Amino acid sequence: MPEAAAVGSGPLLALEAVTKRFPGVTALDAVDLSVAPGRVHALVGENGAGKSTLLKIVAGAQRPDAGKLLLAGREVRFAAPRDALKAGVTVMYQELSLVPQLSAEANIFLGMEPERRGVLDRRTARARAQDALRALGAEFDPGILASDLSVAEQQLVELARALVRDARLIALDEPTAALSQVEAGRLFEQVRGLCGRGIAVIFVSHRLEEVRRIAEDVTVLRDGRRVFSSRIAAVSDAELIRHMVGRDVEYARLNAAAAPAAVPRLEVRGLTRRGHFTDVSLALRRGEIVGLAGLVGAGRTEVARCVAGADRSDGGTMLLSGAPYRPRSPREAIRRGVVYLPEDRKTQGLVLGMSVRENVTLATLERYSRRGVIRRRTEREAAARETAAVDLRPPEIEREAGTLSGGNQQKVVLAKWLLADADVLIFDEPTRGVDVATKVDLHRQVRALADAGKAILVISSELPEILALADRIVVMREGRVAGALEAAGATAERVLELALPGAHAA
């Protein structure tokens, strides 16, 4: 890092007590961070720890509610991503932000196209794009369409974009998630090259092994707080994991009232959906809650969607009470009693513009209609009964679903499926965006459903939730089942070890 030191002895980027609140949650709580020029600073933490919010604030996509950002010692306020780019700060998001219909070169200069007398200066653009790409070891022509490039190549385009803008800080959000090992290795070489030019790098990753390979410094975020910062050489994986899972909130363990049925209600054998998950097997028994743990992107939601008929699988078999089960649509799955409560209630669970009543009866309307005409009184009664059963507060069934809080929205979705007499319920992140009191309430309801004889699968990225709720825990990693644990022997550390790719915790 020869020249880098000359820039100044202090950090290139410093966050001081940065706080960001969203309705109902504090995403970042007085977070400090200090990133030195010419070094790679890893940012680790569980899902929802606040990493993406932090990146968005660095990128100018969101503004902090309190605290300040210092760039090379001077306070900066980014009103928009444009300001951050001008100041030399580039963020490469996991979903790359290239325009697929434009060439690599056009993408590199998007928003700052070189012009001569108002006309695009294509020769200069081509030359500079070529220089930047060559500096990154890219072997493709700048004229190629972005959509024709591999993910690894597209990342190089993004990095080249940062280079032509004279970036001083580059933040990478899970850059290796979609890369092969070889590609990841090449990317690391380029990242090191960037550091050699004195550029500071923020590297967000789940993979501790990678973090160890590339980063000099590490910061752990948990529940929106910075809980740990250190030089990476000075800390073990086990210690990092402990910082990641240590929690202030613990939920009371909810045990089953009786032993589950012996015969599985749902059995999944070797289920595969190409490009999403491979050879997944699990069994759900009546009276039992199975937790499906894993990192975001491990394939848990994809498995759930296949089981619920929302997507098709490519291989494997499923059995419902021993009978073959291969749903071609959610309709068919619902008819067989299998339902899915999606993670994103707003876009998949509810029709926000409709009332609670209309949402609750959406899946069962034929029961409340005669020759296609809705019997309004019976519909109202059913909706009122079922919303009372899930303890919707306030119990206003004519209220528009979009105006409800997250917890109440979840209850409306639940009421819909209880009304449909579903007995295999798949909850995907059931308490995301829900306040703690409602969380506990929902946990109790889920347990009560299991005790009433339903078979339940709970997907959750929140380890305490899985640990409190599940009778058995199946852990997925990179599209495969990494292991299964009985609730009795499960600890957060043990689950995370299985979930993290390449972790070698003691």
Residue ranges in contact with another protein by CB under 8 A: 23-24, 308, 310, 329-331, 334-335, 340, 342, 347-355, 358, 362-363, 365-366, 369, 372-374, 376, 398, 400, 402-406, 408, 416, 420, 435
* Residue 274 or 331 with smaller CB distance to another protein: 331
Q: How far is the CB of 304 from another protein (least distance, A)?
A: 11
Nearer to another protein, 164 or 362 (CB): 362
Composition of the chain by helix, strand, coil, percent to 5 = 35, 25, 40
Closest approach, Cβ 439 to another protein, in A, equals: 13
Judged by beta carbon, residue 308 or residue 425, the one nearer another protein is 308
Are the C-beta atoms of residues 419 and 382 closer than 8 Å to each other? yes
Query: Phi first, then psi: what are they for 343, rounded to 5°?
Result: -65, -45
Minimum Å gap between C-beta 298 and another protein is 21
Query: Which residue, 58 or 422, has its beta carbon nearer to another protein?
Result: 422
- When the beta carbons of 215 and 419 are compared against another protein, the nearer one is 419
Smaller CB separation from another protein, 175 or 406? 406
**Between residues 93 and 427, which has the closer beta carbon with respect to another protein?**
427
Task: State in angstroms the smallest separation of the CB of 311 from another protein.
Answer: 11
Q: Are strands 315-320 and 264-273 parallel, antiparallel or unpaired?
A: antiparallel
Shortest Cβ distance from residue 143 to another protein (Å)?
A: 30
In angstroms, rounded to a whole number, what is the distance separating the alpha carbons of residues 437 and 499?
A: 28
CB of 412 to another protein, least distance (A): 11
Q: Considering the complex, what minimum distance in angstroms separates the CB of residue 413 from another protein?
A: 9
Q: Report, in Å, the least distance between residue 66 CB and another protein.
A: 18
Beta-bridged to residue 425, according to DSSP, are 339, 456
Residue 162 beta carbon to another protein: minimum distance, rounded to whole angstroms = 34
The continuous run of DSSP H or E covering 144 comes out as none
- Residue 239's alpha-carbon distances to 65, 149, 243, 245, in angstroms, are 31, 39, 6, 10
In the block, which residue shows the tokens 């009786």?
Answer: 258
Between 107 and 431, CB nearer to another protein: 431
Under DSSP, is residue 403 helix (H, G, I), strand (E, B) or coil? helix
Least CB distance to another protein at residue 223 (A): 17
Asked if 46 contacts 461 with a C-beta cutoff of 8 angstroms, the reply is yes
Q: How far is the CB of 99 from another protein (least distance, A)?
A: 20
Name the strand (E) or helix (H) holding 272. Answer: strand 264-273
Strands 40-44 and 200-204: parallel
- Give the residue with the Cβ less far from another protein, 235 or 352: 352
Q: How far apart are CA 361 and CA 415, in angstroms?
A: 9
**CA-based nearest residue to 244, from 500, 506, 57, 501:** 500
Task: Note whether 53 and 62 are within 8 A (CB).
Answer: yes
Nearer to another protein, 35 or 334 (CB): 334
Query: 3-state SS string over 449-482?
Result: HHHCCCEEEEECCCHHHHHHHCCEEEEEECCEEE
Query: Other CB atoms closer than 10 Å to residue 65's CB: what's the count?
Result: 14
- Kindly tell me which of 393 and 494 has the beta carbon lying closer to another protein: 393
Cα separation, 239 vs 504, in Å, equals 11
The candidate with the shortest Cα–Cα distance to 262, out of 288, 281, 282, is: 288
CA 88 to chain centre: 27
Task: For residues 450 and 465, give the distance between their C-alpha atoms in angstroms, rounded to a whole number.
Answer: 16
Nearest to 245 by CA among 295, 284, 210, 211: 295
